[in-house]
Amino acid sequence: MSTRGPERYDAVGFDLLTALLDTWSLWAAVAGGREAGMRWHAASQARLRGTPYRSFDVIVREAAGDAGIPPDAAAVLLARWDAFAPWPDVPPVLTRLATLTTFVVTNCSIELGRRAAARAGTFDLVVTAEEAGAYKPDPRPYRLALDRLGLDPSRTLFVAGSAHDVGGATRAGMAVYWANRGDAPRPADATALVEAPDFARLAELAGR
């Protein structure tokens, strides 16, 4: 692995709902099983990915129908949104990155994004698809975060959780560390600087 030097990055951005938080367990619990939960989650991702923003709550409800999940499950999922927990490797790595600017770019509403980010840790900025007007990997959410913080994308590392973030963040000018926790296939549109199943190599890459 090449780290490009210990002071390469001034900031680290994160995908929230896959890279930082174990959201899959809640989708599974509400749906009645892991397979059903992942099918529902995938259906929601298919509906929102790269599209102009519309209500995340509505998308979750529509995706339940797509996945054969009872429609009232969406209200249960959203009511339990504060039940998410960070992956076990997240808190110690965020502590090591505390001297850097850190931010979140997430595919949900302003309210849900801020509530979920508070479950993961403390960040300098949380940008949601709602305020950017589009869902990732549309470039607008990434660019909004970079602009608000006055960051040079070439000195910013983005931590992807979903495969689509690899291409989205790369096209916004950032190098990407892909925490591929679900062993997803590599995307065809971009290559991460590092792909790993967790955060084990992240602090070193960021020079911390």
Per-residue model confidence (pLDDT) at position 4: 44
Token readout for 45 is: 């991702």
- Is pLDDT of 2 > 70? no
Beta strands across the sheet bearing 125-128: 125-128, 101-106, 11-14, 156-160, 175-179, 194-196
Per-residue model confidence (pLDDT) at position 8: 79
CB atoms closer than 10 angstroms to residue 79: 10
pTM: 0.94
Lowest mean pLDDT among 2-6, 49-53, 154-158: 2-6
Structural Rg of the chain based on CA atoms? 16
Say how many residues make up the chain: 208
Asked if residues 127 and 157 have their Cβ atoms less than 8 Å apart, the reply is no
- Is pLDDT of 78 > 50? yes
**Residue pLDDT, tens place only, 107-118:** 999 999 999 999
Per-residue model confidence (pLDDT) at position 7: 53
- Kindly state the helix (H) or strand (E) to which residue 103 belongs, with its residue range: strand 101-106
Amino acid at 72: D
The verdict on whether omega for the bond into residue 137 sits within 30 degrees of 0, i.e. cis, is: yes
Average pLDDT over residues 33-51: 97
Enter the DSSP assignment of 32.
T
- Is pLDDT of 207 > 90? no
Among 56, 150, 63, CA closest to 106: 56
**Residue pLDDT, tens place only, 116-175:** 999 999 999 999 999 999 999 999 999 999 999 999 999 999 999 999 999 999 999 999
- Is pLDDT of 3 > 50? no
Is residue 179 helix, strand or coil? strand
Largest CA distance in the chain: 51
- Is pLDDT of 201 > 50? yes
Which residue reads 């039940």 in tokens?
83
Determine the Cα–Cα distance for residues 161 and 74; give it in Å rounded to an integer: 22
Is 172 exposed, middle or buried (CB count within 10 Å of its CB: 0-12, 13-18, 19+)? buried
Distance of CA 42 to the CA centre of its chain: 14
Enter the DSSP assignment of 102.
E
Confidence band for 192, pLDDT divided at 50, 70 and 90: very high
Residue 125 phi, psi (nearest 5) = -160, 140
